[in-house]
């Protein structure tokens, strides 16, 4: 059985490794998250917003031309059609409703590329709650359009000036803020990472993805199970959502696709399952990229959403036990795949998602297989990168 235990462990991965001063905040969440999210009134409001505000259910689309090309059957779970353009909104809607019920009046978040920051600023605007997003000063420079979006949505973007001025420094600032404001503030984490109960909580909010896949596949194929589910993994939230209702059905192959960056052995990579070892990062025991004395190695990927030195504890467990297969895809193969999907299906995917599609070129499958690819987000945000590299890949 793949399931989280009461201490937040999936096998040997997970737990809550936190500074003493965060204990009350985490304890409050741990004690209440299941009770609150199981209340009928919570469930009702969550479902209603997913339907009317996010636009769910997201379609499960049979990709005819792509299937013909790969000589198999490929379905796309269209998270790119959600409000704000990716799966991240499923989680932020869930967490804002939880925060309200815990009596919180102030939301903090950290963001790297700005996608989670935008999804958080969006739900704060929706509920009229104060929102502060921490972001590395370097990332603020690099991701100007998302910074503008957050500001337009009414959020305050606070720069982190320490260290490399990127995501991990923003995370440190957010944690410092939470320690100083434990009573009125909720910290919205954007993936299945962090101390328990975050990985389980975020996976539950994202599990709507595979919940819908079951009945949508049943309608289309007569069977609730696909043969294979493929998803990209940064922290692992879209993959957790797409795998969730199949975790204990061994006949369903789960494929987690990581970013190899410039190549596994290049020193510029984010392929945690290959390059990582066991350790603690951001409050949980998992696989992470670290030096021999435990310093975190700077990851690299062309896609900001996969540029993370760890993976969520659920995925560390799935990969370590062989339940999931890990595949790593380079920048160039992801780019090639993005241009190809655009031309063959008329869908421009996010760069993160393009890694999942590139896996189709390297993995084995049968002609009769039913394969679902989680199309985690749309590519509008990556247009500048796509334009920059276009000439290298046009045939
Ligand atoms: C953020 C992001 C990801 C990576 O995050 P996960 O938690 O691993 O899902 C993947 N795809 C898109 C489109 C994203 O915005």
Tokens encoding 52: 């009317």
Angle at 269 between CA 322 and CA 323, to 5 degrees: 10
- Ligand 1 centre to CA of 325 (Å) is 18
Active site residues: 88, 110, 376
Distance 60 CA to ligand 1 centre (A): 18
Atom of ligand 1 nearest to the CA of 193: 7
**CA 311 to centroid of ligand 1, rounded, Å:** 12
* Cα–Cα distance for residue pair 161/269, rounded to 1 Å: 24
Q: What is the position in ligand 1's atom list of the atom closest to the CA of 115? A: 15
Tokens of 243: 């795998």
CA 131 – CA 150 distance, rounded (Å): 9
pLDDT band at 167 (very low <50, low <70, confident <90, very high): confident
Helix (H, G, I), strand (E, B) or coil at 86: strand
Q: What gap in Å lies between CA 308 and CA 266, rounded to an integer?
A: 16
Is the CB of 350 inside a 6 Å radius of any atom of ligand 1?
yes
pLDDT of residue 248: 98
- Tokens representing residue 122 in the block: 């969006």
Q: What is the pLDDT of residue 142?
A: 82
Span from the CA of 20 to the centroid of ligand 1 (angstroms): 30
User: Measured from the CB, is residue 269 less than 6 Å from ligand 1?
Assistant: no
pLDDT digits (tens, 9 = 90+) for 30-73: 999 999 999 999 999 999 999 999 999 999 999 999 999 999 99
Q: Whose CA is nearest to atom 14 of ligand 1?
A: 305
Look at residue 164 in the predicted model and tell me its pLDDT.
Answer: 83
Across the chain, mean pLDDT equals 96
Helix (H, G, I), strand (E, B) or coil at 330: strand
**Separation of 340 CA from ligand 1 center, angstroms?**
20
Cα angle vertex 306, ends 303, 308, to 5°? 125
CA of 274 to the centre of ligand 1 (A): 19
Pull the structure tokens for residue 3.
Answer: 């399931």
Residue whose pair of structure tokens reads 């999942």 in the numeric block:
356
Kindly give the number of the ligand 1 atom that is closest to the alpha carbon of 79: 13
Check if 234 has its Cβ closer than 6 Å to any atom of ligand 1.
yes
**For residues 277-298, average pLDDT:** 94
Q: How confident is the model at residue 292 (pLDDT cuts 50, 70, 90)?
A: very high
Q: Which atom of ligand 1 is nearest to the CA of 113?
A: 1
Q: Which SS3 state, helix, strand or coil, does residue 316 take? A: helix
CB 235 near ligand 1, within 6 Å: yes
337 Cβ below 6 A of ligand 1: no
Nearest to 77 by CA among 191, 204, 238, 218: 238
Burial class of residue 161, CB neighbours in 10 A (0-12, 13-18, 19+): exposed
Of 87, 230, 301, 338, which is best to mutate to test ligand 1, by the most ligand atoms within 8 angstroms of its C-beta? 87
How high is the pLDDT of residue 168? 84
All structural domains of the chain: 24-49+88-201 (3.40.50.1100), 57-85+208-393 (3.40.50.1100)
Using one digit for the tens of pLDDT, what is the confidence trace for 93-145?
999 999 999 999 999 999 988 999 999 999 999 999 999 999 999 989 988 99
Residue 189 has pLDDT above 90, yes or no: yes
Q: Cα separation of 263 and 302, whole Å?
A: 12
Does residue 89 have its Cβ closer than 6 Å to ligand 1? no
Q: Please state the rounded mean pLDDT for residues 199-210.
A: 98
387 Cβ neighbours under 8 A, 6+ residues apart? none
Contact 233, 378 (CB under 8 A): no
Q: What is the mean pLDDT of residues 314-330?
A: 98
Lowest mean pLDDT across 174-178, 320-324, 372-376, 391-395: 391-395
Is the C-beta atom of 353 inside 6 A of ligand 1? Answer: yes
Distance CA 354, CA 76 (A): 12
Nearest ligand 1 atom to alpha carbon 202:
7
- Work out whether strand 277-281 and strand 284-288 pair parallel, antiparallel, or are unpaired: antiparallel
Q: Is the CB of 232 under 6 A from ligand 1?
A: yes
Please spell the DSSP secondary structure of 156-204, one letter per residue.
EEEEE-STTSSHHHHHHHHHHHHHH-TTTEEE---SS-SSTTHHHHHHH
Residue 17's pLDDT band, with cuts at 50, 70 and 90, is very high
Q: What is the pLDDT of residues 72-86, one digit of tens each?
A: 999 999 999 999 999
At 163 the pLDDT is: 85
What pLDDT is attached to residue 394?
A: 78
In order of 78, 94, 266, the CA distances from 212 in angstroms are 11, 17, 39
Instruction: State the Cα–Cα distance between residues 290 and 52, nearest whole angstrom.
Output: 43
| Model pLDDT, residue 154 | 98
Which pLDDT tens digit goes with each residue over 346-375? 999 999 999 999 999 999 999 999 999 999
- pTM, entire model: 0.98
């Amino acid at each position: 059985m793949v399931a989280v235990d009461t201490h937040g462990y999936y096998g040997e991965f997970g737990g809550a490794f936190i500074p003493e001063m965060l204990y009350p905040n985490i304890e409050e969440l741990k004690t209440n998250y299941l009770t609150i999210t199981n209340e009928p009134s919570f469930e009702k409001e969550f479902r209603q917003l997913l339907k009317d505000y996010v636009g769910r259910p997201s379609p499960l689309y049979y990709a005819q031309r792509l299937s013909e090309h790969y000589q198999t059957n490929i379905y796309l779970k269209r998270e790119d059609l959600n409000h704000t353009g990716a799966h991240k909104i499923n989680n932020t809607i869930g967490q804002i409703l939880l925060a309200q019920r815990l009596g919180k009046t102030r939301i903090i978040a950290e963001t790297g590329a700005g996608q989670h920051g935008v999804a958080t600023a969006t739900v704060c605007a929706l509920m009229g709650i104060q929102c502060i997003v921490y972001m590395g000063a370097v990332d603020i420079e690099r991701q100007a359009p998302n910074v503008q979006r957050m500001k337009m949505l009414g959020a305050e973007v606070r720069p982190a000036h320490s260290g490399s001025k990127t995501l991990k420094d923003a995370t440190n600032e957010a944690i410092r803020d939470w320690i100083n404001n434990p009573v009125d503030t909720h910290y919205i984490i954007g993936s299945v990472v962090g101390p328990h109960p975050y990985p389980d909580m975020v996976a539950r909010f994202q599990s709507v993805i595979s919940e819908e896949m079951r009945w949508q596949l049943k309608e289309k194929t007569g069977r609730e199970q696909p043969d294979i589910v493929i998803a990209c993994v940064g922290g692992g939230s879209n993959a957790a959502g797409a795998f969730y209702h199949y975790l204990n059905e061994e006949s369903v192959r789960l494929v987690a696709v990581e970013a190899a960056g410039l190549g596994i052995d290049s020193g510029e990579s984010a392929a945690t399952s290959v390059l990582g070892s066991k350790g603690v990062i951001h409050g949980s025991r998992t696989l992470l990229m670290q030096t021999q004395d435990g310093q975190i190695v700077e990851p690299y990927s062309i896609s900001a959403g996969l540029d993370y030195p760890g993976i969520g504890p659920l995925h560390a467990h799935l990969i370590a036990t062989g339940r999931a297969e890990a595949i790593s895809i380079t920048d160039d193969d992801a780019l090639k795949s993005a241009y190809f999907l655009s031309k063959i299906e008329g869908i421009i995917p996010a760069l993160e998602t393009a890694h999942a599609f590139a896996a189709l070129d390297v993995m084995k499958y049968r002609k009769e297989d039913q394969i679902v690819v989680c199309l985690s987000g749309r590519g509008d945000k990556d247009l500048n990168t796509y334009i920059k590299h276009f000439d290298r890949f046009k045939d």
